[in-house]
Amino acid sequence: YPPPPPPPIGNKTAFQMEMFQDMILYEDPKWEFPRKNLVLGKTLGEGEFGKVVKATAFRLKGKAGYTTVAVKMLKDHASHSELRDLLSEFTLLKQVNHPHVIKMYGACSQDGPMYLIVEYAKYGSLRNFLRESRKVGPSYMSGNDANRNSSYLENPDERALTMGDLISFTWQISRGMQYLAEMKLVHRDLAARNVLVAEGRKMKISDFGLSRDVYEEDSYVKRSKGRIPVKWMAIESLFDHIYTTQSDVWSFGVLLWEIVTLGGNPYPGIAPERLFNLLKTGYRMEKPENCTEEMYNLMLRCWKQESNKRPIFIDISKELEKMMVKNRDYLDLAASTPADALLYDDALSEEDTPLVDSNNAPLPRTIPSTWIENKLYGRISHAFTRF
């Protein structure tokens, strides 16, 4: 007689049941967490295929009582590809242990949907945290303790951001990325939206759904179709589908720009298909307001066309440490942050934005596309349609 059909898997939908039939999830005793000890709460964030919810876990890692955690899961209509990405993230997070990389506590892989249980980041994504900080006025001026308000004394996390804070954020992320580079892991989607802010304004690199293990290779070539974060991607990733630690360095440069502009949209008003041409001809975003020449120079070096000419994360960390010592001035958000509405408008129309060339010379606001194409010695507009 044939073996009996497998029993129903928890509350999976018919679509998920079909999806899981050829993908058996084996339990890892070291990481498996009892589903009955997990109480799901409100949704913290969601995308097209997955979501993250706040939850409480009872007796997590043998700890008495309840612990607040975050749980990552797929939506009902997620495909094999998204499940594999979640399982890939599970595999990767088993390997990593660093104060600036999100920590995994366990998983629920049996008798129900796949859940990843990770540490809870009180302030959410860095992108939203930076944007919210623009609404906070300076709580005190440098060197004048009398101006410190009670809110700051009660909760240091509520004080206004300083330039030193922003540099600290970038340094923390660089340390996390240095660790991943040493682990031979390429993130492939480094951006402010994928960095979480925990209590004490601690940066936690997150979202390894696009990560790939490169233990045996120096690069990963993407062959499958899918959504790609064009404005954060290195030239070699856009044109040749090559992903390395040095393409993560390019993305880190864009992340620096996001931090300095307090959550601005990179290349504001520039449509992705125009970006291909602009980057290939050597043009980069101009220096944001509040940005020091030192920090902007670091961004430009991260955006070098040849990946081997970009700095490596260990050197980036050392540079940022020096900047932290030098920059102790407080940042007056009300007076100094960029006022350009394009920076914070997520429904952008295609407009021109100031760019600079590789020699840091400003460009005219309007650049004829035909001139760009001539500079490229031939049309490359087809490159965007390949994705």
pLDDT tens for 54-92 read 999 999 988 889 999 999 999 888 888 888 888 888 988
- pLDDT of 195 reads 96
Partners of residue 38 on adjacent β-strands: 57
Q: Would the pTM count as exceeding 0.85?
A: no
- Region 144-154: mean pLDDT is 43
Q: Per-residue confidence at 358, pLDDT binned at 50, 70, 90?
A: very low
List b or e across 36-52, with b for residues whose CB sees 16 or more CB atoms inside 10 angstroms. eebeeeeebeeeebbeb
103 annotated binding-site participant: no
Structure letter (DSSP) for residue 282:
T
Distance between CA atoms of residues 284 and 303, nearest Å: 8
Strand blocks (E) in 59-181? 66-74, 104-108, 115-119
- pLDDT of 313 reads 97
Q: Which residue has the higher pLDDT, 161 or 175?
A: 175
- Region 39-53: mean pLDDT is 87
Query: Which residue reads 């802010």 in tokens?
Result: 197
Q: Is the pLDDT of residue 364 over 60?
A: no
- pLDDT of 60 reads 93
- pLDDT of 346 reads 52
Q: Per-residue confidence at 207, pLDDT binned at 50, 70, 90?
A: confident
Range 198-202, long-range pairs (CB < 8 A, 24+ positions): 198/119, 198/120, 198/121, 198/122, 198/123, 199/122, 199/123, 199/157, 200/157, 201/123, 201/157, 201/165, 201/168, 201/169, 202/99, 202/100, 202/172
Q: What is the DSSP string of 9-49?
A: -TT--HHHHHHHTT------TTTB--GGGEEEEEEEEE-SS
Distance between CA atoms of residues 275 and 235, nearest Å: 10
Distance between CA atoms of residues 378 and 370, nearest Å: 10
Please state whether 378 falls in left (phi above 0), alpha (psi between -120 and 50) or beta.
left
* Closest to 85 (Cα-Cα) out of 218, 188, 205: 188
pLDDT per position as a tens digit, 176-200: 999 999 999 999 899 999 999 999 9
C-alpha distances in Å from residue 223, one per residue of 114, 140, 240, 242, 387? 26, 52, 10, 10, 10
Q: Which residue has the higher pLDDT, 151 or 284?
A: 284
Most confident of 185-189, 346-350, 355-359: 185-189
**Token pair belonging to 263:** 């959550």
| Active-site annotation, residues | 189
Distance between CA atoms of residues 74 and 89, nearest Å: 13
- pLDDT of 52 reads 92
Distance between CA atoms of residues 142 and 113, nearest Å: 51
